[in-house]
Amino acid sequence: MVTLANNLLSIKSLSGSGTKSEFNYVWLRDNCPCSECFHPDTHERTLVTATIPENIAPKSANINDSVLEIIWNENNHRSEYDLDWLRQHDTSQTFYSDDPAQGEMTLWGNELQDSIPTYDYTDLRTNDEILLAWCEAIRDIGLAIVRGAPLEEGEIERFADHVACVREVIYDRLHNVRATPGAYNAYNVASTSLELKPHTDMPNYNNPPGVQMFHFLVNETEGGMSTAVDGFHVAAQLKQQDPEAYDVLTKVAVPFRMFSSRGDVYSANPMLTLDCSGALKVFRYSNQLAQTLNISTSQMDDFYRAYRKLGKLVEASENMVKFRLNSGDMMATNNLRVMHGRTAYDALTGDRHLQLSYMDYDDVLSRIRMIKKARKHGKS
Ligand code: OGA
Ligand code: ZN
Ligand code: ZN
């Protein structure tokens, strides 16, 4: 049943008849669940991984009932592993995920127009199952609308604190967007009545806020429709149509900067940042905040060719949803993936004032885990 060879402990038929599950010795030793190796109260690892000797190996390994027991060649340390736990963490069978916040992304274009996830404000504040659905929509679709929030200043900040917590940026916890000359400092295009092209907010941070959310205290103007574009979807189209252009945008560091009298935040990162498996992790796109490119002259043509192609996909009507938000409505996006914007409006036709706040994406995932945990323990 259990065999030992080549730094691997093998168990036959652990995950079904005929299969052979293999576990690395150092990995097993590193994950010994005993109270000497993991603090029983904090569940943090107390065993120092780097001190596990290279020649660590079981002196003996046996399965009794539903437990694998190992006596190690170092200090006769004894480890017990639940077979269910081994099954779930069987790296030789599958890449496992034991994250309850794990989701599945759906890429979208204009076909989302009539099915944008939309929630009622009061439901979200009073029912954690609906809040869970909202969090999951941010995770899987990257866009959600909330209707009917109170017309009170600071509501978006309170909402962020209800979901998770506010991610502060240099300017404010709460940011006002309004085109009233003199009332607010029109240091960027959002505070004018001009069109605001699809963009992600704050790409000038090395770690941009993961969720951007705003709330209309009033929206009575003609025009000023809200727009959104799935950046991961347009990136996937670019990759398929022109893999070289995609590659360029994963490698060229584009500098972004946002500054005012209160701050000056600058960083340079690729518009398409990949994770260690090569999958797209962060999409940055803000025409207005991009700074003078500082790359070698010989790279310029390739970069601008790639940028032009991506930009055309961003502007393509089949990739964009457009919707009206009224006074009291909120909208939120996964700001590491989905762009938002608005059409131009006529400031003479009425007042328009929104308040904006951010959260970190990790804190939304955290809320998903917490609601699921509470559900498991019968509380909500
Ligand atoms: C912004 C923004 C949207 C709007 O301020 O970054 O995207 O509708 N505003 O004004
Ligand atoms: Zn131990
Ligand atoms: Zn914005």
* pLDDT greater than 80 at residue 179: no
Of 91-95, 285-289, 323-327, the one with minimum mean pLDDT is 91-95
Which ligand gives the minimal distance to the CA of 76?
A: 2
Ligand 1: which residues within 6 Å by Cβ?
A: 177, 190, 196, 201, 226, 340, 342, 354, 356
Domain final residue, candidates 88, 118, 149:
88
Ligand 1 centroid vs 342 CA: distance in angstroms? 7
Which ligand gives the minimal distance to the CA of 322?
A: 1
pLDDT at 379: 64
Q: What is the pLDDT of residues 181-191, one digit of tens each?
A: 555 455 577 77
Average pLDDT of the segment spanning 152-177: 92
Q: Which residue's CA lies nearest to atom 10 of ligand 1?
A: 190
Ligand 1 centroid vs 341 CA: distance in angstroms? 6
Which ligand gives the minimal distance to the CA of 214?
A: 1
Domain final residue, candidates 88, 123, 153:
88
pLDDT at 193: 84
In a domain, 16, yes or no: yes
Bridge partners (DSSP) of residue 20 are: 12
Domain match, 316 and 239 both? yes
What are residue 39's phi and psi, to 5 degrees?
A: -65, 125
Domain count, the chain: 2
Q: What is the pLDDT of residues 246-267, one digit of tens each?
A: 999 999 999 999 987 778 999 9
Domain match, 80 and 119 both? no
Q: Which of 145, 342, 352 to mutate to test the pocket of ligand 1 (most atoms within 8 A of CB)?
A: 342
Domain match, 76 and 147 both? no
* pLDDT greater than 80 at residue 166: yes
Average pLDDT of the segment spanning 93-118: 93
Concatenating the DSSP letter of every residue in 12-71 gives ETTTSTT-EEEEEHHHHHHT--STTTB-TTT--B-S-GGGS-TT--EEEEEEETTEEEEE
Q: Which residue's CA lies nearest to atom 2 of ligand 1?
A: 190
pLDDT at 84: 94
pLDDT mean across residues, the chain? 94
pLDDT at 97: 81
Ligand 1 centroid vs 146 CA: distance in angstroms? 16
pLDDT at 17: 77
Q: What percent of the chain has pLDDT over 90?
A: 85
In a domain, 380, yes or no: no
CA 10/CA 3 separation, integer angstroms: 5
- Show the domain range for 60: 2-88
pLDDT at 267: 98
In a domain, 128, yes or no: yes
Q: Which residue's CA lies nearest to atom 9 of ligand 1?
A: 190
In a domain, 292, yes or no: yes
In a domain, 75, yes or no: yes
pLDDT at 182: 52
- In CATH, what number is assigned to the domain containing residue 161? 3.60.130.10
Q: Count Cβ atoms below 10 Å from residue 136 Cβ, excluding itself.
A: 19
- In CATH, what number is assigned to the domain containing residue 76? 3.30.2020.30
Query: If residue 211 lies in a helix (H) or strand (E), which one and from where to where?
Result: strand 211-219
Ligand 1 centroid vs 292 CA: distance in angstroms? 23
String of b and e for 61-89 (b: at least 16 CB within 10 Å)?
beeeeeebbbebeeeebebebebeebeeb
pLDDT at 234: 98
Domain match, 180 and 276 both? yes
* pLDDT greater than 90 at residue 283: yes
Q: What is the pLDDT of residues 307-334, one digit of tens each?
A: 999 999 999 999 999 999 999 999 999 9
Q: What percent of the chain has pLDDT over 70?
A: 97
Domain final residue, candidates 33, 56, 88:
88
Amino acid at 243: P
Average pLDDT of the segment spanning 9-13: 94
CA 87/CA 377 separation, integer angstroms: 24
